[in-house]
C-alpha cells in the first residue's frame, strides 16, 4: 500500500522535531551541571591555604607513562542519534521528491548548530580575572633615631636565658637605649646603642633579598640574614645562626598608628618559640 505524499513531510518533520528535542535536552542538562558545580575558591582562601605548612609530596615509586598521541573526543550518544535522525529526514524528503522541504530542513539544522556554537562557553580575555597591578609598596617611615620605651616593651629575659648569655651582656641589653635606623629603596640597616659603651651592634641588609653575614647578637661569632619589604609596608629581617645554641629568628619592623616604632621579635631556640615586642619613640631633634 502506497503512503500518501501529504504524510511524507509530516514524517520528516517528526524526525526533525525528535532530533531538536534531543539537542535541547542535552543542552539543558549541561546547564544544570554548571549551575550545581561548586563555586571557585576565593583568592584569599587560596592564599591562606598556600601559606599554611603543607606536607612534602613523596615521589612516585614508578614513573607514570603518558601517551604522546592525541586522543579523539568521543561523540555523545545524543549527538549521534540526533544527527542520524536529521539525515534520515533529509533522505526521506529527497526520495519522495520534496526537495524544497529538504532544503528547509538543512537550513533549520544549520541555524540550530550555529546557535549551539554561539552559546558554548569559550575562554575569553574579558572573562579572565585581571592580573593585579604591580603597585609599588611604600617604604615605612622608619628612618631616624629611636629611643626605647621600656614601660611599653616586653622583657627580653626569656631569650637571654635561652641563649645562655653571661651577666655582662645581659646588663648591656637591659640598658639598651635605642636604635638608629637607615632605610632607602635598596638597603636597610640599624645600630643599637646602650648605656654600656662597649656594647655595639650593627646590622646592614640589602632589600633585594640577598643573604649577608652579620655579627651574632650574643657576640658569639657570625650569623646569616636577609631583609625584605613586605606587602604590608613593614621590614622583615630573617636570620639564623649555628652552634653554640643553634637557632633562627624573624624580626618585623613597623610604624605604629601613634607614630612609634614597633619591633616584633620571634626566635626559635632549643625547640622553643620565644616572642617579645620592643617599642620605641622617635627622638626629638634639638
Q: For residues 138 and 130, is the Cβ–Cβ distance under 8 A?
A: no
Task: Indicate whether 132 pLDDT > 50.
Answer: no
- CA angle 57/62/65 to nearest 5° reads 105
Stretch 266-285: mean pLDDT? 95
Give bridge partners of residue 246 from the DSSP assignment.
none
Tell me the per-residue pLDDT of 155-185, one tens digit each, with 9 for 90 and over.
999 999 999 999 999 999 999 999 999 999 9
Residue 192, CB half-sphere, CA atoms under 13 Å: how many?
A: 20
* Of the listed ranges 49-58, 89-98, 101-110, 276-285, the one predicted with least confidence: 49-58
Stretch 101-125: mean pLDDT? 63
Name the residue with higher pLDDT: 20 or 196: 196
Stretch 86-95: mean pLDDT? 64
pLDDT score at 20: 60
Cα(84)–Cα(72) distance, integer angstroms: 20
Q: Give residue 245's region: left, alpha or beta (phi > 0; psi -120 to 50).
A: left
Domains detected in the chain: 1-35+78-120 (no CATH), 144-282 (2.40.128.20)
- CA angle 78/82/87 to nearest 5° reads 150
Cα(192)–Cα(208) distance, integer angstroms: 23
Tell me the per-residue pLDDT of 210-232, one tens digit each, with 9 for 90 and over.
899 999 999 999 999 999 999 99
CA distances in angstroms from 155 to 38, 148, 161, 186, 265, listed in the order given: 50, 12, 11, 32, 12
Cα(93)–Cα(9) distance, integer angstroms: 7
Name the residue with higher pLDDT: 166 or 119: 166
Q: For residues 219 and 203, is the Cβ–Cβ distance under 8 A?
A: no
Neighbours of 195 (CB within 10 A): 11
DSSP state of 143: -
- Residue showing cell 603597585: 135
pTM: 0.54
Amino acid at each position: 500500500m502506497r503512503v500518501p505524499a501529504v504524510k511524507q513531510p509530516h514524517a520528516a518533520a517528526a524526525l526533525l522535531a525528535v532530533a531538536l528535542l534531543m539537542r535541547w535536552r542535552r543542552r539543558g542538562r549541561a546547564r544544570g551541571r554548571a549551575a550545581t558545580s561548586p563555586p571557585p575558591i576565593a583568592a584569599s582562601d587560596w592564599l591562606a591555604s598556600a601559606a599554611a605548612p603543607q606536607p612534602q609530596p613523596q615521589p612516585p615509586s614508578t614513573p607514570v607513562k603518558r601517551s604522546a598521541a592525541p586522543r579523539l573526543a568521543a561523540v555523545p550518544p545524543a549527538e549521534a542519534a540526533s544527527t542520524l535522525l536529521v539525515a534520515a529526514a533529509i533522505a526521506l524528503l529527497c526520495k519522495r521528491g520534496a526537495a524544497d522541504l529538504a532544503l528547509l530542513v538543512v537550513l533549520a539544522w544549520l541555524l540550530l548548530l550555529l546557535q549551539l556554537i554561539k552559546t558554548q562557553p569559550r575562554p575569553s580575555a574579558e572573562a579572565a580575572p585581571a592580573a593585579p597591578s604591580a603597585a609599588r609598596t611604600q617604604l615605612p617611615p622608619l628612618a631616624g633615631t629611636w629611643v626605647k620605651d621600656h614601660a611599653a616593651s616586653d622583657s627580653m629575659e626569656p631569650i637571654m636565658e635561652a641563649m645562655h648569655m653571661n651577666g655582662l651582656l645581659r646588663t648591656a641589653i637591659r640598658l639598651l637605649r635605642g636604635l638608629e635606623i637607615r632605610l632607602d629603596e635598596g638597603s636597610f640597616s640599624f645600630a643599637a646603642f646602650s648605656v654600656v659603651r662597649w656594647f655595639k651592634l650593627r646590622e646592614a641588609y640589602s632589600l633585594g633579598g640577598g643573604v649577608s653575614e652579620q655579627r651574632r647578637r650574643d657576640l658569639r661569632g657570625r650569623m646569616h640574614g636577609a631583609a625584605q619589604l613586605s606587602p604590608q609596608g613593614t621590614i622583615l629581617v630573617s636570620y639564623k645562626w649555628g652552634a653554640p645554641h643553634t637557632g633562627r629568628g624573624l624580626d618585623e619592623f613597623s610604624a605604629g598608628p601613634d607614630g612609634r616604632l614597633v619591633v616584633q621579635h620571634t626566635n626559635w631556640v632549643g625547640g622553643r618559640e620565644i616572642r617579645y615586642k620592643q617599642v620605641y619613640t622617635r627622638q626629638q631633634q634639638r
